[in-house]
Amino acid sequence: MHPMATPVLSQTTSARPLRAAVAERGKARVAAVGVTGYAGGELLRLLAAHPAVEIAAIVGRGRSGEAIGKSQPHLAELALEIQQDIPQDVDAVFLALPHGASAEVVAEIVGSGRTAFDLGPDFRLRDERSYPEWYGWDHPAPRLLADAVYGLPELHRAELAALGDRAGSIVGVPGCYPTATLLATAPVARAGLIADLVVDAKSGVSGAGREPKPELTFSEVNETVRAYGLEGHRHAAEIAQELGALTSTDPAAQLAALEFVPHLIPMTRGLLATCYIRTTRRVEAPELAELYEAAYGAEPFVQVVAASPSTKHVTGSNVARVHARVQPRTGRVLALGAIDNLVKGAAGQAVQAFNVVAGLDERTGLEARAIAP
């Protein structure tokens, strides 16, 4: 477990389900915990412009009293100040903390009836044994895992909507790699067509967080590319869990058919998952097109595109661009998913999930189009 003291609710009170709170006042009062990193900054940027959100507090460990402009200079004019505790009268709490840091505080949040949207991994995995295996610590609140919902609306929309009627719900917002991978491959997985899957993923550096590690300085990252996490990246556990759920396969069996290798790319934002699928039978292009149209034709944030997607074309937006094709020579399905790792891969996804839970139009506050070039 993460040893640092975590912020606590200043006092617990009875609370209503999120949907009712928003329906009554037209707005949710929210707190954001952990706002000094990149996902936290992006979350603030989105929440501050969200018409159905009132930012009641930004909360941080040991930075009480600090103006937001110190850690997020581009948001200085929000004129928010970090405080020690989560106010008692908020309807929802967003958390963007290092892994292991949110499990305990989430227990308190939901215990007092609030809804928690955790951008970290502490509530993404259903099986408590996954935490010691992939993260190296025992989950401090394992009984909460069963009720938490994996916050990928494209796969779990109904479950998320159902949370809106319950006080004390938890959304485990997906990681950036699983988001791009799952959106790229879900239509094929759901049809039971994946025999095995190689995911070669490329991420911008902001995905590695804001901690100034030696290998993340400009001089080390610029003009180079390398694979990392060869021994097994934690996000593989999420991918396997969700692909398993789509096909009623055991996640462990799923892992045996999944090769996931992330790469660090000299760019700040953007994530591309190139997915190589050996199929259980020969798939033809029209069938593949139908699967993707059926899956995403009505989705507000997934665009099935006719050519290889560029991450630049989704920068700053909550859109995922997906392209799938059958490779004639090999018969493989090639599926590509491109997202902005900090928006659809983190903060935007959290807001999208919030919208679903709160009964709002899913696009609320997420209408901004990509910025290019």
State the minimum distance, in angstroms, from the CB of residue 358 to its own copies. 22
User: Which one, 95 or 319, has the nearer CB to its own copies?
Assistant: 319
User: Which one, 114 or 313, has the nearer CB to its own copies?
Assistant: 313
User: Which one, 150 or 260, has the nearer CB to its own copies?
Assistant: 260
- Tell me how crowded residue 253 is: count the other CB atoms within 10 A of its CB: 12
CA-to-CA dists, residue 81 to 8, 42, 44, 57, 72, angstroms: 17, 16, 12, 8, 11
Burial (0-12, 13-18, 19+ Cβ within 10 Å), 20? middle
State the minimum distance, in angstroms, from the CB of residue 208 to its own copies. 8
User: Which one, 129 or 226, has the nearer CB to its own copies?
Assistant: 226
State the minimum distance, in angstroms, from the CB of residue 64 to its own copies. 20
For residues 224 and 310, the answer to whether their CB atoms sit within 8 Å is no
The 8-class DSSP code of residue 102 comes to S
Catalytic residue chosen out of the listed positions 96, 144, 152, 176: 176
* Residue 226, H or E segment: strand 226-227
State the minimum distance, in angstroms, from the CB of residue 373 to its own copies. 4
For residues 141 and 116, the answer to whether their CB atoms sit within 8 Å is no
Burial (0-12, 13-18, 19+ Cβ within 10 Å), 14? exposed
What is the spatial distance between Cα 123 and Cα 116, in angstroms, rounded to a whole number? 10
User: Which one, 19 or 45, has the nearer CB to its own copies?
Assistant: 45
Asked about 275 being catalytic, the answer comes back as: no
Q: Which residue, 321, 348, 326, 315, is CA-closest to 336?
A: 321
State the minimum distance, in angstroms, from the CB of residue 164 to its own copies. 28
- What is the set of active-site residues? 176
